[in-house]
Structure 1
């Protein structure tokens, strides 16, 4: 992997003050041989201090984080901070513009392509820029997501496990400060594994707090407000934000999602009739719902059961499903030993 990014920008991350511009993502098409795609970026710097990188729009159909970061980009000035805040509300701009999870240019899912490639596809170039340019500057990354068009999430926040007990406890503290009612630990099982932004940051020692704030490609207002206030609390916590009137966080239920057994998948095509709601506590073997065949309506629907106990944190948003689609995700309460910190191999 080359360390030389092909993306450029008029933004000078070392310049004092507030700068508003965009990254230039090079693109060559039939209609624009030497073109570029704008990726909006705001850099706010005031003196020496920590750096926070705020990211939204990794997936284009997830809106709470994008709008929360837009709010903060308008609200914050250099007099509000000590250190540096870099805000990128629409990181995968082609996907944002299209309202899609993946880029219409190369079908790239940005959060499955880290650490990226300097001379790769458009989406790989974005991942590479984050890995090679932004992460080395960062003391904290806050990456805001939701369920997009296919899933609906309870507002929650998540971290990867720390590599040492001390690091793990610091990450748990960031979950508590962000203040989502649910905070959970995941190693990426059933998701992006080692190809995500948090995984790339883990290799460099940069802490990442990710949030899931709603879903269905709609806007969850409570998720939006949580995103904005949670980011402000974290900026205050690490010594960047100068304000004293940041809202208090609610108590956080710390949970775990590090097993594929906690995800329920469709074993056949059909229409999914769920029997649970977000926030429900379920038992092992409990009926999760029914899958109704659309080409064999005279057949009895297939029953879908939970293979373990837990709490429903997200479920499928569209009713029509294909075999292999995730239908429900569960969380389980963290064991006391996990709350005190644990070592974890990357």
Structure 2
């Protein structure tokens, strides 16, 4: 059991603590550590764990989780809430996705390695605290700063977790997502790399229900998305018995089972014609691009009927860069 678990297991009643999980040090002697806020309820119960940032440009979830924890009344709680606002402090401080000291994608490094590169050590330190303590974990993300999106969820299925798809989607529904995307852990046709190394998937492997909540665009504060996340945290805490109250949950979730990127063939300046969240028909134009002299270059079209999950907001584009993230297969999943 880690230092957070030991604090939550204490028998001294309601309490609140903030501190750091030691990981290492820099050449200057500055500590490498993961900050945390832990709120222990007056009565024992389940633990909701909110992880605010794996990538350094994902800000909305950090703000939402810290604000939610700040307004909790520990005396009225049965159970606990833990916030680890940043899992990647070097990336946060440098305002970039990846850790600048090893250039690894931290969300492909879990469960980590205590003797590995710095990202692997950060991953190990966090997982060591989560195991045996968390009953639910929300892995908070955004799209990168070049894109707009409506809040949505991403979830994975682990064959040995004991966590059902319906159970994940019932929790996801509490956050009012635009869509809930079931992700292929093999990464086929979607994203490269070790998708099985994601924090939420490794939590599932440890028997802890977990999913990713994507809260808009990166490197900026979006008040509506922060507020939506706070409402969702409260609803899930009520559902877990940590807080008192009633939850009127959605009965259906729009589930996306296949999605992919639309890319540019030529570099230029992109002008969108749709918005993130739109449903479009096969062949519909997402936008057009022009060259540096103002001449038309290409019309960016979808290869099938789709839901625009994320849309590029930065007009400066190069060959092979991403224009949009589009869902191509979806249904309405009944939660009744």
The bucket for the TM-score relative to the shorter chain is 0.7 to 0.9
Q: Match of 2:166?
A: 169
| CA distance, structure 1, for counterparts of residue 149 and residue 206 of structure 2 | 29
Q: Match of 1:255?
A: 255
Structure 1 length as normaliser, TM-score? 0.83
| Offset, 1:288 | 2.2
1:82-102: CA deviations, max 9, x gaps? 222211112212222222222
Q: Match of 2:280?
A: 282
Determine if the alignment matches structure 1 residue 49 to structure 2 residue 38: no
> Judging changes above 3 Å, is the alpha-carbon distance between structure 1 residues 266 and 201 closer, same or farther for their aligned structure 2 residues?
farther
Q: Secondary structure at the match of 2:238?
A: helix
| Offset, 1:22 | 1.4
Q: 1:201 aligned to 200, 203, 217, which one? A: 203
| CA distance, structure 1, for counterparts of residue 258 and residue 335 of structure 2 | 17
Structure 2 length as normaliser, TM-score? 0.85
Question: 1:216, 1:317 within 8 Å by CA — same for their partners in 2?
Answer: no
> Judging changes above 3 Å, is the alpha-carbon distance between structure 1 residues 277 and 95 closer, same or farther for their aligned structure 2 residues?
same
> Judging changes above 3 Å, is the alpha-carbon distance between structure 1 residues 285 and 118 closer, same or farther for their aligned structure 2 residues?
same
1:8-38: CA deviations, max 9, x gaps? 8897343352211112220231x22xx4124
| CA distance, structure 1, for counterparts of residue 143 and residue 93 of structure 2 | 17
| Offset, 1:131 | 2.7
| CA distance, structure 1, for counterparts of residue 174 and residue 5 of structure 2 | 34
Determine if the alignment matches structure 1 residue 68 to structure 2 residue 41: no
Question: 2:4, 2:129 within 8 Å by CA — same for their partners in 1?
Answer: no
> Judging changes above 3 Å, is the alpha-carbon distance between structure 1 residues 181 and 340 closer, same or farther for their aligned structure 2 residues?
closer
> Judging changes above 3 Å, is the alpha-carbon distance between structure 1 residues 170 and 122 closer, same or farther for their aligned structure 2 residues?
same
Count of residue pairs brought into register by the alignment = 326
Unaligned runs of 5+ in 2: none
Q: 1:79 aligned to 75, 80, 85, which one? A: 75
Determine if the alignment matches structure 1 residue 110 to structure 2 residue 117: no
The CA RMSD measured in Å over matched residues stands at 3.0
Unaligned runs of 5+ in 1: 342-346
Determine if the alignment matches structure 1 residue 14 to structure 2 residue 15: no
| Offset, 1:249 | 5.0
> Judging changes above 3 Å, is the alpha-carbon distance between structure 1 residues 122 and 273 closer, same or farther for their aligned structure 2 residues?
same
Q: Normalized per residue, which structure has more strand?
A: 2
Q: Secondary structure at the match of 1:264?
A: strand
